[in-house]
Amino acid sequence: MRKKERTEAILRRLHELYPETQCTLDIDDNVFHLVVRAVLSAQCTDVRVNEVTKVLFEKYPEYTDFLSAGEEEIGRIIKPCGFWKAKSHYLYEIARMMRDDFGGEIPKTQDELMRFPGVGRKVANLIVSEMFGIPAVVVDTHCMRVSGRLGLSSGKDPAVIEKELMKILPEEEWAAFGHRMVDHGRAVCTARSPKCSDCALSEYCPSSGKKV
Ligand code: SF4
């Protein structure tokens, strides 16, 4: 089977497996909230981030509230997410930059978003695709691992993988493909022991049954 046909078959199967896929971080209509959740999700589960930010946004819903509260108070609430000193500093700085550099808004381009501390390409792509409808592939650890095993990407560098995936996937699939890689990576193609014998993609997967 040629790569194009194999890619199409994998996409079809992923649609069947995870029809309602979506970002596992909570999303509301406040872009700042998703930036905060995404920054907090580094080295922390999305479930924990969603719990913590529920409390955080009840008390401090707007970026201006973060500025009034200060780093220490933000840090006190986000402590369960880990690395709270660095993360509270990032969040305070993001709020300050929104006020001083971006007229109180979250900017709409990846390059501008990546000026925020704690925001790399992965988070920037998540923000533009989820909040601004700009197609982007979010390459996280699951996407790197699963797309690599499936032979859809070959690099170790997320920026390279992003380019490879953008080349072979239809643009309208970019955002959902990233979410489906997370779904499949959590449920079946886990880091240490992929369940190849139970995997609905195994007939298309060059790594099926191989040692990881
Ligand atoms: S066949 Fe195995 S390695 Fe390939 S996607 Fe499925 S679980 Fe992962």
CATH number at residue 147: 1.10.1670.10
Q: pLDDT tens digits, residue range 197-211?
A: 999 999 999 999 997
Q: Is the CB of 10 under 6 A from ligand 1?
A: no
Q: pLDDT tens digits, residue range 68-122?
A: 999 999 999 999 999 999 999 999 999 999 999 999 999 999 999 999 999 999 9
Q: Is the CB of 36 under 6 A from ligand 1?
A: no
Q: Is the CB of 150 under 6 A from ligand 1?
A: yes
Burial of 60 (0-12, 13-18, 19+ CB in 10 A): buried
Residue 152 CB neighbours (<10 A): 23
Which of 103, 131, 159 terminates a domain? The answer is 131
| Residue located nearest, by CA, to atom 8 of ligand 1 | 189
Band (pLDDT 50/70/90 cuts) for residue 3 is: confident
Share of the chain above pLDDT 70, in %: 100
The residue assigned the tokens 């999305």 is 46
Q: What CA–CA distances, in Å, run from 57 to 35, 61, 202?
A: 13, 4, 43
Band (pLDDT 50/70/90 cuts) for residue 187 is: very high
My answer on whether 127 and 144 are in the same domain is no
Q: What CA–CA distances, in Å, run from 175 to 89, 97, 110, 124, 169?
A: 29, 27, 15, 12, 10
Ligand 1 binding pocket mutation candidate from 147, 183, 188, 211 (most atoms within 8 A of CB): 188
My answer on whether 116 and 184 are in the same domain is no
Q: How far is the CA of 69 from the centre of ligand 1 (A)?
A: 47
Q: Is the CB of 189 under 6 A from ligand 1?
A: yes
C-alpha span between 52 and 39 (Å, rounded): 13
Whether 65 maps to a domain, the answer reads yes
My answer on whether 149 and 98 are in the same domain is no
ipTM entry: 0.99
Per the structure, the complete domain to which residue 165 belongs is given by 3-21+137-204
